[in-house]
Chains A and B, each alone.
Chain A
Amino acid sequence: MYTSLSNRRSFIKKMATLSAMTAAATMFPGILFAEEQEKNIPDNGDIDWKKGPCRFCGVGCGILVGVQDGKAVAVKGDPKSSVNKGLLCVKGYHQIMCTQAADRLEYALVKKNGTYVKTPINEALDIVANKMKSTIEKHGKDSVAMYTSGQSTIPEGYVASKFMKGAIGTNNLDCNARLCMASAVAGFLTTFGADEPMGCYEDIEHADYFITWGNNMAEMHPVLFSRMLEQKHSRGAKIIDFATRTSRSSMGSTKSILFEPQTDLAVANAICYEIINNGWMNKKFVEEHINFSKGLTKMGYGLEDNYKFKDKPSKISFEDYKTFLNDYTPKKVAKYSKVSVKDIKFLASIYGDPNIKVMSLWCMGVNQHTRGTWMNNLIYNMHLLTGKISQPGNSPFSLTGQPSACGTAREVGTFTHKLPKGVVMNEKHRKLAAKIWKVPYERIPSKPTYHATEMFRAVDRGDIKFIWTQVTNPLVSLPKTSRYRPGMEKDSCFVVVSDVFPTPTSDVADVILPASWHIEKSGLYGNSERRTQHWDQMVEGPGDTTPDAWMTIEVAKRMGYGDLFPYSKENHVEEIYNEYRQFHEGAKHGMAPLDVLKEKSGVIWPYVNGKSTQWRFNAQYDPACDNGKDFHFYGKPDGKAIIWQRPFEPAPEKPDNEYPFWLNTGRVVEHWHTGSMTRRIPVLHKAMPNAYVEFHPDDAKALGVSNGQNVKVISRRGECTLPASINERGLPTKGQVFVPFFDENMLINDVTIDAFCPISKEPDYKKCAVRIEKA
C-alpha cells in the first residue's frame, strides 16, 4: 500500500499520543482522555476493526486492530473487553509495528556449508521431517524433542502435543512456561488438585486490600495495576507491595515492605502463626474444607544433571501444624527476613480481619524460586486459614506472564508430564487422549522425560539429537545460557527454530522456519483469569510465513502420520479447537463453543449452560460444586483443599566474600520478554534501548561506580557487561543488583544459576551470587 508522507506523519503522531496516554494511565489511577483517545485513532470509513487478544502479556487485554487495504494500520483497546475496558499499555498500542521490521524472517533458511540458504518452505519442511524421522530410526524416539511456548496458540500447542505424544510416542515435549508458571501449576495441584485461579479480575473491584508478593505489576501487568489504582483512588482500597526491590509498583502502592531474598517463605509462615495464635482462623471453614499435610524437606536444588525428586506427602494434624509454626514467630522471622515485627503483624492483621477482603497477587517473584511450589502453597495457606477464597474480592490470584501460558501450556498441556486432560502417569488420562487422538494408548509413554532445563542439559550431553523450538528464544531466556548456548551449537544436535524474527536461538539453527505473526493467523489464547479468546486472521503474512500449527501438521504428514492430522489448511484452527474441546467437557472445565468465542471478547471457563464461572469452588457461583456445602474443592477426591506445612530453607547460592551481591533479574514495561518483538518497535526500543544493572546508591558509592559507567556482573557461571543505573527505574536493596533480561546484546542469563524448584522444576532467576568489577 502506498502511504503518503502526511498520512504517515499523522499516524505517527497518533501513536505518539497513544503512548503518552498509556504512560499517563500507568501513573494516574483512572485518568480519562476517552473522547480524545477515540479522536486520535484514524477514523476513515474504510478501516475495518477486528478483535483479538493482545500479543504480549498474560493480562490478555482485548485489542481492536484497524485493517485498511489488507494492512494493519492501528491498534486500540477493545472497549467490550472486561479485562481492559478499552485501555492498553504502551506495548499493546504499538504491537503491530514490529511486523514492519526489515529483518523479518520471510523465507525458510537452511544451513548449508556454514551459510544460510533461502529455501522454499516445502523443501525446508521435507528436510525437517526427514531429519526427525532418520534420527528416530537411528537413535530412538526419545532422541528427538520439541520445545514450545506459552505464546503458542491453543491449536499450536495441541498439535505439538498430539504429534509428539500421540503420533511419535515420546514425552520429549516441554515449553518455556516451565520457566515462568510451573510453580504456580504445582502449587494449584498440590493445594487444590485443579490448576488455575479460582477467582477472576473482577475480584479487583471488590477487594479492600491488594497484597502483591514479589511482583512489580505496574510494569509487568500494567493494565491490571491501573485497575487496582483506580480502586485505590475511588474507594480507598490499599495496595501493599511486599518485595525485594523498590519498583514503580512500590511508588504506586499504599505501603512498601522490603524483605531479604528467599525469606518470603518464613514471613508467610509467620503470618499464619499470627492468624492462628490471635484466634483469627475461620474454624468452621477449616474444619469443613481443609486437610493438613507435609512433604519432604531438604530436597536439594536440581543443580546436577539427571536430578530426580518425588515428594512424599503425608497427612498431619492441625496441632502438628500449629507446633511447626512455633519456629516462625514474628520475632524469630524478623531477625533474618529484615521485615519488622510490626510489619509482619500488620500483614497478618489484613489476612486475619474477617471484615477485610483481601487479594494476594504474585507472579515471577514467587514462581521463579527454588521453593516456588512451597511459596505458592504458603500463600494459599493464609487464604485457607481465614476462609478468604473463592468469593468476590477474597482471592489468592496467581498472575501469568505469557499470553497463553494458561490456555496453551497448562490447559492443552505442553509440558512433558501433561496431556490435554490430566497427566501421562495416569492410565485413565492416557486412555482418553488415545481415544480422542485415535492412537493406541500404549503409544503414549507413562513416564515424563525432560523438563526445560533438563532438556537443554540433554542437548548439551548429546542425548537429544534433534530439537525443534517454536515461538520461544531459549538462548536468551534459559538460566545459565553460558552452558546451553555451546550445547546447542554442538554438531550432535540438529536444531530447528520456528520464529518471526532472527534471535540468538535462530543463530544456532540448522533450519529456520518463517512463522506467521499473531494477526497473520487465526488462533486462541487463554489468559490469567481462565479467559479463552479467539481471533481470526486479520492480514496476510509476508513471503512463505506459515502458522506454527500448520508447519507441525505438515511435518507430521511427511513422517507418515497424516491420518492423525486430517485438518484443512483454511480451517485447521477451528477443526483443532473442536477436537480439543472434547477433552474438557463437563462442568469443571467446559470450554465455550467457537461461535461464542468468535462473537465475544473472551469467555471464562468453566463455561456451563451458556455462562462463565467466575468463582470456582463456591457453590453460589460454580455449578460443579455438588457436595451440598457452601464450598467444594472438587479437584481433591474428598473435596477438601490442603494446607501444607512448608518450612523456610535457604537459597542454593548466597552472597559471600567472593561474590558479595544478590543478583535479581526481571523485566521492564517497554519490552516483552527477550525483546525479539519489542526491540523492533522503534518507540519502545528508543524508550528503553539497552539493559542495565541497577545498584543501591550506597553500593555504587562504595564501589566507585557512577551512573552509566560500564561494569561487569560476574558469577561462578559467566559474566555480562552493562551500564550502571543508579536511582533510575528501580532501587534494589543494599547488597542486591537488578538486571532486566530483554537485551540479547547483554545476556544476563549467562550469569544466572540453573537451580530449580524440585517439585515444579521451575528455575530461580531471582537469586544468585555475583561480584561487580569495573569494565
Chain B
Amino acid sequence: MKLNIELRTSPHLRKTHSVDTIMRNVVYALLPIATFAVYQFGISALALLLTVVASCLLTEALFNYLGGRPNTINDYSAVITGILLALTLPPGFPLWMSAVAGFIAIGLGKSLFGGLGYNLFNPALVGRAFVQAAFPVAVTTWPPAYAANRFVEFIPTTLTLPFTEPVDITGWSQQVAVDAFSGATPLALQKFEGVTTPVMELFTGMSAGSSGETSALLILLCGTYLVARRMMDWRIPVGILASAGLTAWLLHLSSPETHPGPLFMLFSGGLMLGAVFMASDMVASPVTPLGIWLYATLIGVVTIIIRLYGGLTEGVMYAILLGNAMAPLIENMTQPRAYGHARRRSRS
C-alpha cells in the first residue's frame, strides 16, 4: 500500500484554546468596560485608551525589534496591558504621560523580563505604579463624570503639552459637573472628608474615579464571561473579594465611624478591576491550588489595610504588586502532594 505516513508524538489530540484565543477573549471582556468609560467621560477617555494601547503596542514591537525576537504584538497581550492600564488612570490624564505609562508598562514590566510569560509583575500595574510616583498630581486629578460637553470637548488636562504639568481643573470641573462636585473619588471623600458615597452608585458606576474602575457591576459581568469560558481562574477574584470583604467587615465592626462597611470597600476604587482583571493575570500569579488561595487572601487583606491605615486612598495596586512578588515563593511553599506520595496534601 502506497501511503505517506506521518510520525507524531502523543497526545495526538489537543484542546482548541490557544494563548491568542484566551488573550483575544480577555480583550473582548474588557471592551464593555472601556466603552462605559468613554460613555462616562467622553472623548478624553477614548483618547486615553487609544494612546495607551498604541504606546504599549509600539513599545512591544520596538523591544522585539531591538532584541531580535519575532514580533509578538498579535498575541493581544500588549493590547490587554494597554486597556487595563488606561482603565486605571484618571480620564483626564495628560496624553503624553499616558504614552510614558504605556512605554514603562511594556518596556520595564514585560520586555526586560523576556516578554510574555516571563514577567514577574502585571505589566499594567508596573506602568501605573511608575506614573503614581512620577506624576503624583496628574494621577490624582479627577474630572467629574457625565460632564455636559464630554463628547465634543476634551478635559483640559488631556491635551497638556509634553513635558509640562497639567493645568488645574478645579474651576472647570465645577462648571461642567452635573451637580456639586468636589473633585475627589469616593475613597478620598470617605477617607479625608468622612462622606460615604451610596453603595448603589458605586455598583453601577455613577461616581468619579479612574476611567474604568467605576462600575463594579460591569466589571463583575465581564469577569463572569471569562470564567464561564474557562479562561480565567475564578478562585483569584473570589478569594480577593472575600478576604477584602471579611477584613473590611471585621474592622468596620471594631469602629464603624472611621471604617466604612465591606460593601463600600468592595465596590469603590480599583478593587473590583484589580481583583477581576489584574490579580488574575496568569503569568504573575501562582498555579498551585493552595497557593492561589493564599495569594488572593494576601491581596485582599493588604488592600484594605493600605486603604485604611496607609497614606494613600487606594491600596489595591500595591497589594497586587506585592502578591506578584510573593507568587513564586507562595508557589514554592505550596507544591501539591503528588499521587502516591506521603507528604500531607495541601488541598485538592
Q: Do A and B come from one complex?
A: no
Which residues of B come within 8 Å of A, CB atoms? none
